[in-house]
Amino acid sequence: MLARPSWPGSHPQTHATARHIAGISRFRGRSLDKKLLHVLIIDDSPDDAELVVEALRHAGYLPKSQRIQDVSGLHTALGRESWDVVIAETDVPHLAVPAILDALRHTQHTPPCILMTRTISAADMAELMAAGARDIVFKNQASRLAPVIERELAVFRDRDALNETRQMLAEMQERYQALVDGSHDAICYSQDGMHTSANRAYLGLFGYNDVKELEEIPVLNLIDRSQHVRLKEQFRKAARTPDGVRVDELTAIRKDGSQFPAEITISAIRMDGESWHQIRVTDVSRQKHIEDRLQFLHDHDPLTGLYNRDYFLKALGDAVTTAKGGGRTAVALHLDLVQLREINDRHGYAVGDRLIVQLAEHLRAKLRDGDILARLGPDEFAVLLPDYTERPGADAAATISGEFEEISMAHDGKPLTCRCAAGVAVIDASINGVEQVLALAYQARAAELQSAAEAPPVVVEAVPDRPSATVHRIDRGTPIPKAIENALRNDGLRLLYQPIVNLHGNPSENYEVLVRLATGSTELMTAGEFMPTAEQAGLSGDIDRQVVRRALESLRNLRTAHRRATLFVNLSRAAVLDVELPIIILEALRETGVKGGSLVFEINEMVLAEETQKSLGFMAALRKLGCRFAADDFGRRLGKPPLPQSLDYLKIDNTLVHALIEKVGGAAVVQQLIEDAGKENRRVIIKNVEDAASLAVLWNYGIEYVQGNYFQLPDMDLNYNFAGESIDSDQATAGWTRPER
């Protein structure tokens, strides 16, 4: 046996060894403290093989070795084990070094091969190193073996990590390419302004079948020529912007020459050491359509398609500015459909809506280009006539009012007509603002509602220094002011009741009190028709007092019949300003024995907003008696300062209800309004429900209370069967059927 050389001292084994030997590549990531090392030794001398093992032990390794000396043993060993290092004698009989190196190259993890020899020529050394040997160690210099192995293992680790990184990079590139190719976004890559590649979405968007068609086409050729300068600047900017730049309002050009609005995002990237651009193109045709539709809904009434109140007020403000600057004079008309509420109450809101649509279409056809026709409220219209002088403006008012006389709609075999009260205001340099125009037009319109029954239509224009009215008369038996005075004197106001139904099974009896006025004809006049005149005549407060007293008498009769009910009573602006009314209500409650909690007073949202302090004082006084409050026509002031918190109910404005049911512009706003009301413990009431389909929609929005002719027309008797009224979610989904009465 050959003498063993002197080796450096070994390091103590640590417990980390067992943890480091796990994994596919056992040596990857290890430290160089004592570690298990799988060594394949190719040598025909057992003693020389033992010297190798001892040298590795002294170097701090725990060698697990196998010695082989022929081709068969080599293939068996390579197939059975994954080796960290192969140490081969250069002169093994029948097993040449080139054959060993070739066999190692065909293994899954090619281990480094280190040759050991006693003597070798320089030419043979160069040949073996060129064939793939990692190093050659002379057996009389065995101390070099451990450093060589450490170096080769480190190289192997680095090579293995590099191969893994390359594989991961290739997989990432494949995944990225798959994402780009499969993306619905239109993406292309360009260099020096030319297309180099594009995904299927890009080709489809521009009408090309193959990317080869684009390779000779500059990117700018797909954009309208007028926008090239702006787009070039954005390409230059993208090189300085890490997150890329977005360019909107571009006009893209397809292969067939057709155009579409586009938005482009440009990102500067580097690939293979070169500068490229990634370009993402979005067809915004649908987005533009939606934006245009939203703008239309923002500016227009959903029922008629006419301009809405906000748009009209803006146009009116522009007209005032023009007139004050010495520009053209304009005329504003305020139109009131004086019979619409009666039609709604008698025949239902569906009939009234059809009549409104017919009136809107007829008026729109009669106006000039540039005239602005708007719907301000349920029964209010307005017209702005630019470039009109005073007299022609009055003539136009008479013509428009007369148009209403020509329109009728058949219902149940009978014609329905709806007459119009029109107020005129001239907009010239003397006008101070929009508010003055509206006030003048309103004054002129209100004068009509005080006119007597038989007089023919007369037009009198209202101008800043001469306010007056366009006069049309309501075809009734007795003039309205006289009829109101007679009713107040003789207790002649008629009270009708309409149920307010809880959709969630609560059988509590709730009715709204509706007041009607007899004028000598067979038909009763609705509050919407006679209350404006009553307010002008200072009689609305007297009406409120009589209605409250009569409502309390009805509640006393119900209590005598062992029925509990809540009545919702409308109050006018005069009631809020009437400091004596709370005292009168207190005395009436004591007289009738009715509890204040049986009364819910409805006050119009605009009154609550305009008379905030007086409303707060009025409600505080009645709350001490147990009374509750509701805001009527709630939602007209969306976006304005909130109403007082002392409200128990919100009766949503009809226009917002229509948006909610028809799911048109504004529906999301109404949903949010309903959600906010629930958080504030306010109960929402939807009025004017006319059909089962609308009811099913309202259920799905979580509405609690509903009211309308679908349930029952206003009636003098309080005989509605609330116990038979409920709806569950399954019924709502399928479409609800009203229970039998």
Q: What domain range is 100 assigned to?
A: 16-165
pLDDT digits (tens, 9 = 90+) for 295-308: 777 788 888 888 98
Do 157 and 189 sit in the same domain of this protein? no
Do 189 and 62 sit in the same domain of this protein? no
Alpha carbons within 13 angstroms on the beta-carbon side of residue 399 total: 14
How many distinct structural domains can be found in the chain? Answer: 4
Range with the largest mean pLDDT of 543-547, 725-729, 736-740? 543-547
pLDDT digits (tens, 9 = 90+) for 95-132: 889 999 989 888 877 889 999 999 999 998 999 999 88
Is 109 within the bounds of a domain? yes
The pLDDT of residue 627 is 95
The pLDDT of residue 426 is 82
The pLDDT of residue 640 is 61
In this structure, of 219-233, 287-301, 361-375, 538-552, the range with the lowest mean pLDDT score is 287-301
Choice between 185 and 175, residue whose per-residue pLDDT is larger? 185
Do 558 and 507 sit in the same domain of this protein? yes
Task: State the CATH number of the domain containing residue 680.
Answer: 3.20.20.450
pLDDT band at 323 (very low <50, low <70, confident <90, very high): confident
The pLDDT of residue 142 is 83
> Which residues 6+ apart lie within 8 Å of 169 measured at CB?
none
Is 4 within the bounds of a domain? no
Query: In the predicted model, what is the mean pLDDT of residues 358-381?
Result: 83
pLDDT at 284 over 60: yes
The pLDDT of residue 355 is 81
pLDDT at 252 over 50: yes
Choice between 417 and 612, residue whose per-residue pLDDT is larger? 612
Choose the final residue of a domain: 283, 309, 326.
Answer: 283
Range with the largest mean pLDDT of 18-27, 377-386, 513-522? 377-386
Do 703 and 675 sit in the same domain of this protein? yes
Choice between 430 and 86, residue whose per-residue pLDDT is larger? 86
| Helix extents (H) in 87-144 | 97-105, 122-131
pLDDT at 281 over 60: yes
Q: What are phi and psi of 548, to 5 degrees?
A: -60, -45
Which residue, among 57, 58, 55, 82, has the nearest Cα to 66 in the 3D structure? 82
pLDDT at 452 over 50: no
Q: Where do we find the tokens 């540039």? A: 370
pLDDT at 278 over 60: yes
Is 177 within the bounds of a domain? no
Is 473 within the bounds of a domain? no
Choice between 472 and 276, residue whose per-residue pLDDT is larger? 276
Q: What's the 3-state SS for 538-574?
A: CCHHHHHHHHHHHHHHHHHHHHHCCCCEEEEEEECHH
Choice between 489 and 635, residue whose per-residue pLDDT is larger? 489
Is 1 within the bounds of a domain? no
pLDDT at 551 over 90: yes
pLDDT at 565 over 50: yes
Q: Where do we find the tokens 């909107």? A: 248
Query: In the predicted model, what is the mean pLDDT of residues 307-328?
Result: 86
Do 486 and 436 sit in the same domain of this protein? no
The pLDDT of residue 176 is 65
Do 566 and 647 sit in the same domain of this protein? yes
Task: State the CATH number of the domain containing residue 272.
Answer: 3.30.450.20
H/E element holding 149? Answer: helix 145-182
Query: In the predicted model, what is the mean pLDDT of residues 586-602?
Result: 93
pLDDT band at 331 (very low <50, low <70, confident <90, very high): confident
Do 484 and 406 sit in the same domain of this protein? no
Do 33 and 64 sit in the same domain of this protein? yes
H/E element holding 672? Answer: helix 667-679
Do 503 and 443 sit in the same domain of this protein? no
The pLDDT of residue 456 is 38
Do 314 and 268 sit in the same domain of this protein? no
Task: State the CATH number of the domain containing residue 342.
Answer: 3.30.70.270
Calculate the CA dihedral of residues 426, 431, 436, 442 and round it to 10 degrees: -10
Which residue, among 582, 573, 568, 588, has the nearest Cα to 618 in the 3D structure? 582
Is 389 within the bounds of a domain? yes
Alpha carbons within 13 angstroms on the beta-carbon side of residue 8 total: 14
Query: In the predicted model, what is the mean pLDDT of residues 330-344?
Result: 78
Choose the final residue of a domain: 222, 249, 283.
Answer: 283
Query: In the predicted model, what is the mean pLDDT of residues 609-635?
Result: 90
Do 493 and 587 sit in the same domain of this protein? yes
Do 133 and 230 sit in the same domain of this protein? no
pLDDT band at 597 (very low <50, low <70, confident <90, very high): very high
Task: State the CATH number of the domain containing residue 86.
Answer: 3.40.50.2300
Query: In the predicted model, what is the mean pLDDT of residues 350-377?
Result: 83
pLDDT band at 724 (very low <50, low <70, confident <90, very high): low
Is 264 within the bounds of a domain? yes
The pLDDT of residue 487 is 85
Which residue, among 519, 492, 509, 613, has the nearest Cα to 561 in the 3D structure? 509
Is 388 within the bounds of a domain? yes
Q: What are phi and psi of 711, to 5 degrees?
A: -85, -50
pLDDT digits (tens, 9 = 90+) for 9-27: 333 333 333 333 333 334 4
pLDDT at 438 over 80: no
Q: What are phi and psi of 255, to 5 degrees?
A: -60, -35
% pLDDT > 90, the chain = 24
pTM for the model stands at 0.42
Choose the final residue of a domain: 283, 311, 331.
Answer: 283
